[in-house]
Structure 1
């Protein structure tokens, strides 16, 4: 199956390079990257450019990622050796700061400068998972000829961004790479798990709150992924604690024990003592700022859910899409959160149907492949030569 996919992508890449119409076998985000790469990358690129060795070493030593990598180096090396992989950690400009290759990939990585100091930004080597993960701020996979440069057409790469646990700012990316025939369905999930592990290994002294990037109070990202920051510091909570926190944040007036139990568990046979225990642990994580009778948060709270709601009320499709990262608390079994997730999805979709701004629709279609929304945006374009038309056509084909 993978060999057939590889051949299909090779043919699509060749046709695109010869100037043919964008191929529906190519994902829109890959096609967009190819188009950007073609304007910057020389056709004969045979290896990534190398930055100065001393400068790269200094940059790594000054990065909060250095301490995290040192703490987890044994685990990262084992992952590389056990999976016949090369593991790489970069800075925010996609310069590799640290890497380790297993037996199979070590020489292959050295041949193309997938080593410390290698510059793997889109402008240097074209489409690759490391750059896409940083650009889109989410885990990315690039398989075989989805890469722009033929030097890595035999590779598959999975990359996930690594964030400062205090400010949420991107520090770089963690990448796992191997040959396409050694690809595995859990590659992307493994990269994301290792990236999260790196984040937890960053010492507080290595990641001070930069310029007050996050103010005092509770800041919640609940759409597409869950991140919790309290007074600038990132909290690592269980899924259930995140669900309870989300419910309390969305009910500023508070919830009684019975209401909270119903919102969290629905018809599940779970005792109220279990819920009380969960709330107690959450209260401790919040430094006691969770009141009782009713349960409510006793501090300022902001969330991306409120940002989406406000944008929808204004009819601002672009702002709604920018704030909408996907499903509310992904994977939740809370009936109340599931219902609210459906409401938000419909609200953003209807906002776009009423105001199909091309840039907003393109951003939305990266998260939700909705043919009707893309079709509406195409119909609203007056200019046949509008720069968004080709990308919208590709997204429409992919959605169908």
Structure 2
């Protein structure tokens, strides 16, 4: 149980899915009554915030923990449609045979993600669950269609907010008197600009920072408005002498790089190169990079070609050659995790390591760093008496499959701690899997 019953109403009132719940109810609850299903809507972490359906079926759902305030991600209850959707970011249907444990054998589920029309982030999951023998084949398609309609309704609301923001703040833009400028939403999306031209779709505005570097090298000033931002580009603006800022988030399911407020599209190979150069700030030669990327069979010519393409994307001022190194102020989650482990901040390191470093990479240099981080973090969380750090480690890879971690949690979490039954359930599943594999 993540939220107590009295807390759920407050969480729901502030959740971005709240405006579309009436639409989902209209589309799905009626059919749920007729076909013996319950409708469930979760947040982005799989915590159930809304559940509606026949009273007797809701009681049966209570018995398997499918109730408001509980988290239905893999680490909490095992494989189910909600956790699968959060994992693959696409609709999913699971019948009883696919799900975890005998308690779920009579249940079947169809679920789909709902995305933020502004940022593309997953806001939550809509799910219809019911008894296996009454599942209608069309339920999965209906749930997916309901999720798309909900996203359309959220987009309409976003566009209405954009129009109101423009109407209220166009005087600020007009007040620049011909000086280039733009209006931005609170998420950094540009919704109006003068003059019309090749402005980026959005910029990353860091809290407390009053300027940002544009793609063409000009420095723009950022002013906070009551809603959103006003961007102003002084006519005399020149390329700043300061180093650009490069943010790397590689301890997650999908690597993300942000260069001076703008997202940098990445291939896996580019992400590997950036990670290696961040780990070696003094620089690496093409031969050294080839060894880190391909092992003894690496070809420096191949590396130089890939570096050339990456430099074109970054801009020549961000990376220098002979040796190759980054000329930027680099912030990287894997460097943060390293520093936290070095300083004894186990909780901070566990929070930073949500996933292995570039999980899809097979490059020898990345594999070595990934192994180092995992082993060092595991040793740290097991060696300290910080149950919060241990719990955080248990929620990600590879902690969620670590038998010793969940044995420790079940031994040391207080009996009344709401995390303890979740840890016990996960431990039971891991023991069953271990026995089955022997």
TM-score, normalised to structure 2, is: 0.53
Counterpart of 1:155?
A: 109
Counterpart of 1:371?
A: 403
- Retained in 1: the 8 A contact 2:394–2:402? yes
Rounded Cα–Cα distance in structure 1 between residues aligned with 2:208 and 2:293: 28
Which stretches in structure 1 are left out of the alignment for 5+ residues? 1-31, 43-48, 52-90, 196-201
Q: Which has the higher contact order (CA 8 A, sep 6+)?
A: 1
- Retained in 1: the 8 A contact 2:204–2:262? no
Counterpart of 1:11?
A: none
Map 1:48-63 onto structure 2 (within 5 A).
none
Q: Give the number of aligned pairs.
A: 287
Identify the match of residue 16 of structure 2 among 72, 93, 110: 93
Q: CA deviation at 1:387?
A: 4.1
Q: CA 1:128–1:217 in structure 2 vs 1: closer, same or farther (change >3 Å)?
A: same
RMSD: 4.7
Q: CA deviation at 1:158?
A: 4.2
Q: Is residue 354 from structure 1 mapped to residue 346 from structure 2 by the alignment?
A: no
Counterpart of 2:429?
A: 398
Q: CA 1:372–1:386 in structure 2 vs 1: closer, same or farther (change >3 Å)?
A: same
Q: Is residue 212 from structure 1 mapped to residue 135 from structure 2 by the alignment?
A: no
Counterpart of 1:172?
A: 123
Q: CA deviation at 1:386?
A: 4.0
Map 1:294-373 onto structure 2 (within 5 A).
294-367=323-396, 368=399, 369-373=401-405
Q: CA 1:396–1:204 in structure 2 vs 1: closer, same or farther (change >3 Å)?
A: same
3-state DSSP of counterpart to 2:190 = helix
Q: CA 1:144–1:232 in structure 2 vs 1: closer, same or farther (change >3 Å)?
A: farther
Q: Is residue 277 from structure 1 mapped to residue 305 from structure 2 by the alignment?
A: yes
Q: CA 1:237–1:214 in structure 2 vs 1: closer, same or farther (change >3 Å)?
A: farther
Counterpart of 1:124?
A: 50
Identify the match of residue 233 of structure 1 among 242, 262, 268: 262
Q: CA deviation at 1:275?
A: 1.7
- Retained in 2: the 8 A contact 1:94–1:119? no
Q: CA deviation at 1:256?
A: 0.6
- Retained in 2: the 8 A contact 1:128–1:142? no
Rounded Cα–Cα distance in structure 2 between residues aligned with 1:142 and 1:218: 40
Q: Is residue 224 from structure 1 mapped to residue 252 from structure 2 by the alignment?
A: yes
Q: CA 1:340–1:379 in structure 2 vs 1: closer, same or farther (change >3 Å)?
A: same
Deviations along 1:283-303, one digit per CA (max 9) or x if unpaired, are: 111122110000001111011
- Retained in 2: the 8 A contact 1:263–1:336? yes
Q: CA deviation at 1:108?
A: 4.9
Q: CA deviation at 1:314?
A: 2.6
Q: CA deviation at 1:330?
A: 1.3
3-state DSSP of counterpart to 2:389 = helix
Rounded Cα–Cα distance in structure 1 between residues aligned with 2:126 and 2:188: 21
Counterpart of 2:295?
A: 266
- Retained in 1: the 8 A contact 2:390–2:409? yes
Rounded Cα–Cα distance in structure 1 between residues aligned with 2:403 and 2:306: 41
- Retained in 1: the 8 A contact 2:41–2:125? no
TM-score, normalised to structure 1, is: 0.58
Whichever structure has more strand as a proportion of its residues is: 2
Identify the match of residue 420 of structure 2 among 383, 389, 392: 389
Larger radius of gyration: 2
- Retained in 2: the 8 A contact 1:214–1:232? no
